[in-house]
Protein backbone atom coordinates (compact mmCIF):
# COMPACT_ATOMS: atom_id res chain seq x y z
CA UNK A 1 0.00 0.00 0.00
CA UNK A 2 1.35 3.40 -0.97
CA UNK A 3 1.28 5.74 2.00
CA UNK A 4 2.51 9.23 2.70
CA UNK A 5 4.76 9.67 5.72
CA UNK A 6 6.56 12.16 7.87
CA UNK A 7 9.37 11.57 10.37
CA UNK A 8 10.04 14.14 13.07
CA UNK A 9 11.83 14.59 16.37
CA UNK A 10 9.83 14.36 19.58
CA UNK A 11 10.58 14.20 23.31
CA UNK A 12 10.55 10.37 23.05
CA UNK A 13 12.75 10.18 19.95
CA UNK A 14 12.00 10.25 16.25
CA UNK A 15 8.42 9.34 15.32
CA UNK A 16 7.19 8.34 11.87
CA UNK A 17 3.53 8.84 10.96
CA UNK A 18 2.12 7.26 7.80
CA UNK A 19 -1.30 7.56 6.25
CA UNK A 20 -3.42 8.35 3.24
CA UNK A 21 -6.86 9.79 2.47
CA UNK A 22 -8.45 7.03 4.61
CA UNK A 23 -6.58 8.13 7.72
CA UNK A 24 -3.47 7.40 9.77
CA UNK A 25 -2.23 3.82 9.33
CA UNK A 26 0.99 3.79 11.36
CA UNK A 27 2.87 5.59 14.10
CA UNK A 28 6.35 4.17 14.45
CA UNK A 29 9.01 4.74 17.08
CA UNK A 30 12.66 5.12 16.15
CA UNK A 31 13.35 1.56 17.37
CA UNK A 32 9.99 -0.05 16.70
CA UNK A 33 9.55 -3.68 17.72
CA UNK A 34 7.56 -4.40 14.54
CA UNK A 35 8.20 -2.57 11.30
CA UNK A 36 5.45 -1.65 8.86
CA UNK A 37 5.35 -3.59 5.62
CA UNK A 38 5.83 -1.83 2.30
CA UNK A 39 7.77 1.15 3.65
CA UNK A 40 9.88 1.19 0.49
CA UNK A 41 6.79 2.47 -1.37
CA UNK A 42 5.96 5.29 1.05
CA UNK A 43 6.44 8.88 -0.06
CA UNK A 44 7.50 11.65 2.27
CA UNK A 45 4.93 14.44 2.58
CA UNK A 46 5.11 16.39 5.82
CA UNK A 47 2.27 18.72 4.80
CA UNK A 48 -0.18 15.83 4.34
CA UNK A 49 0.47 14.66 7.91
CA UNK A 50 0.74 18.05 9.61
CA UNK A 51 -2.32 17.48 11.84
CA UNK A 52 -0.99 14.17 13.13
CA UNK A 53 2.44 15.65 13.83
CA UNK A 54 0.93 18.70 15.56
CA UNK A 55 -1.41 16.65 17.76
CA UNK A 56 1.29 14.15 18.74
CA UNK A 57 3.68 16.94 19.72
CA UNK A 58 0.92 18.75 21.63
CA UNK A 59 0.24 15.54 23.55
CA UNK A 60 3.93 15.00 24.32
CA UNK A 61 4.24 18.62 25.50
CA UNK A 62 1.28 18.16 27.86
CA UNK A 63 -1.06 20.39 25.85
CA UNK A 64 -3.49 17.67 24.71
CA UNK A 65 -5.09 14.63 26.38
CA UNK A 66 -6.78 13.08 23.34
CA UNK A 67 -6.68 13.03 19.57
CA UNK A 68 -8.95 14.09 16.74
CA UNK A 69 -7.46 12.20 13.80
CA UNK A 70 -8.96 9.92 11.19
CA UNK A 71 -7.54 6.46 11.89
CA UNK A 72 -7.22 3.56 9.45
CA UNK A 73 -5.42 0.66 11.17
CA UNK A 74 -5.31 -2.69 9.38
CA UNK A 75 -5.59 -5.93 11.34
CA UNK A 76 -7.76 -8.90 12.09
CA UNK A 77 -11.28 -8.40 13.40
CA UNK A 78 -10.08 -9.28 16.90
CA UNK A 79 -7.11 -6.88 16.72
CA UNK A 80 -9.37 -4.06 15.55
CA UNK A 81 -11.72 -4.69 18.53
CA UNK A 82 -8.79 -4.55 20.95
CA UNK A 83 -7.32 -1.43 19.34
CA UNK A 84 -10.69 0.33 19.38
CA UNK A 85 -11.06 -0.55 23.08
CA UNK A 86 -7.69 1.06 23.86
CA UNK A 87 -9.30 4.41 23.10
CA UNK A 88 -11.70 3.77 26.02
CA UNK A 89 -8.89 3.82 28.60
CA UNK A 90 -9.07 7.30 30.15
CA UNK A 91 -6.08 9.63 30.07
CA UNK A 92 -3.98 9.18 33.19
CA UNK A 93 -5.35 5.70 33.99
CA UNK A 94 -4.05 2.21 33.37
CA UNK A 95 -5.83 -1.07 32.77
CA UNK A 96 -4.47 -4.59 33.00
CA UNK A 97 -4.67 -7.01 30.09
CA UNK A 98 -7.41 -8.81 32.04
CA UNK A 99 -9.43 -5.59 32.35
CA UNK A 100 -9.04 -4.94 28.64
CA UNK A 101 -10.14 -8.52 27.83
CA UNK A 102 -13.21 -8.06 30.03
CA UNK A 103 -13.94 -4.74 28.37
CA UNK A 104 -14.18 -6.38 24.94
CA UNK A 105 -16.37 -9.15 26.36
CA UNK A 106 -13.74 -11.89 26.30
CA UNK A 107 -12.54 -12.24 29.89
CA UNK A 108 -10.48 -15.37 29.22
CA UNK A 109 -8.60 -13.83 26.28
CA UNK A 110 -6.01 -11.77 28.15
CA UNK A 111 -3.09 -13.42 26.31
CA UNK A 112 -4.69 -12.77 22.91
CA UNK A 113 -5.46 -9.21 24.02
CA UNK A 114 -1.79 -8.82 24.98
CA UNK A 115 -0.67 -10.07 21.57
CA UNK A 116 -3.07 -7.69 19.79
CA UNK A 117 -1.98 -4.83 22.04
CA UNK A 118 1.64 -5.53 21.08
CA UNK A 119 0.77 -5.19 17.39
CA UNK A 120 -1.04 -1.86 17.77
CA UNK A 121 -0.02 0.17 14.69
CA UNK A 122 -1.12 3.48 16.27
CA UNK A 123 0.60 3.74 19.66
CA UNK A 124 0.06 6.91 21.68
CA UNK A 125 -3.14 7.75 19.75
CA UNK A 126 -4.58 4.31 20.60
CA UNK A 127 -2.91 4.29 24.02
CA UNK A 128 -1.48 0.80 24.42
CA UNK A 129 1.03 2.32 26.85
CA UNK A 130 -1.85 2.47 29.36
CA UNK A 131 -2.03 -1.34 29.50
CA UNK A 132 0.06 -2.93 32.24
CA UNK A 133 0.45 -6.32 33.88
CA UNK A 134 -2.02 -7.46 36.56
CA UNK A 135 0.71 -6.97 39.17
CA UNK A 136 1.07 -3.33 38.12
CA UNK A 137 4.37 -4.01 36.35
CA UNK A 138 5.17 -2.35 33.08
CA UNK A 139 5.16 -4.93 30.32
CA UNK A 140 6.33 -4.94 26.70
CA UNK A 141 5.91 -1.87 24.55
CA UNK A 142 6.87 -1.35 20.90
CA UNK A 143 8.74 1.84 21.74
CA UNK A 144 10.54 0.27 24.71
CA UNK A 145 9.74 0.22 28.42
CA UNK A 146 11.56 3.52 28.99
CA UNK A 147 9.23 5.22 26.52
CA UNK A 148 6.18 3.55 28.09
CA UNK A 149 7.26 4.80 31.53
CA UNK A 150 7.80 8.32 30.13
CA UNK A 151 4.31 8.37 28.57
CA UNK A 152 2.69 7.17 31.80
CA UNK A 153 4.69 9.75 33.75
CA UNK A 154 3.56 12.49 31.37
CA UNK A 155 -0.08 11.51 31.93
CA UNK A 156 0.39 11.29 35.71
CA UNK A 157 2.00 14.72 35.88
CA UNK A 158 -0.11 16.26 33.15
CA UNK A 159 2.71 18.31 31.67
CA UNK A 160 5.51 18.11 29.16
CA UNK A 161 8.11 15.40 28.92
CA UNK A 162 10.60 18.23 28.45
CA UNK A 163 10.53 19.06 32.19
Q: Per-residue pLDDT tens for 6-15?
A: 999 999 999 9
Active site residues: 128
Residue 113 within any structural domain of the chain: yes
Q: What φ, ψ does residue 54 adopt, rounded to 5°?
A: -60, -50
Query: Do both 31 and 84 map to the same domain?
Result: no
Within-domain flag for 50: yes
pLDDT at 139: 81
- 52 lies in the same domain as 14: yes
Residues 96 and 52 in one domain: no
**Residue 162: pLDDT above 70?**
no
Question: Do the beta carbons of residue 34 and residue 142 sit within 8 Å?
Answer: yes
Query: pLDDT class for 160, splitting at 50, 70, 90?
Result: low
Write 87-90 long-range contacts (CB < 8 A, 24+).
87/126, 87/127, 89/127, 89/130, 89/131
Residue 34 scores a pLDDT above 80: no
How much is the mean pLDDT over the chain?
91
State the average pLDDT over residues 118-130.
95
Write out pLDDT tens, residues 57-92. Answer: 999 998 999 999 999 999 999 999 999 999 999 999
Q: Which domain holds residue 56?
A: 4-60
**Residue 126 included in any domain:** yes
Reference 58, options 127, 143, 124; nearest CA is 124
Q: What is the CATH number of the domain that holds 28?
A: 3.30.160
Full DSSP string of 29-52 = ETT-SSPPTTGGG-EE-TGGGHHH
Residue 38 counted as domain residue: yes
C-alpha angle 25-61-55 in degrees, rounded to nearest 5: 30
Query: 85 and 43 in one domain?
Result: no
Supply the CATH number for residue 142's domain.
Answer: 1.10.10.10
Tally of residues, the chain = 163
Based on the domain organization, do 36 and 86 belong to the same domain?
no
Q: How many independent structural domains does the chain possess?
A: 2
Amino acid sequence: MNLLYDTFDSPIGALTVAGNSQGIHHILFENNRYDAKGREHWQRDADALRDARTQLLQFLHGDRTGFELPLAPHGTEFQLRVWKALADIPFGETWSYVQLARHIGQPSASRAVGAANGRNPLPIVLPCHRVIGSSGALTGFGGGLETKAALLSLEARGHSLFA
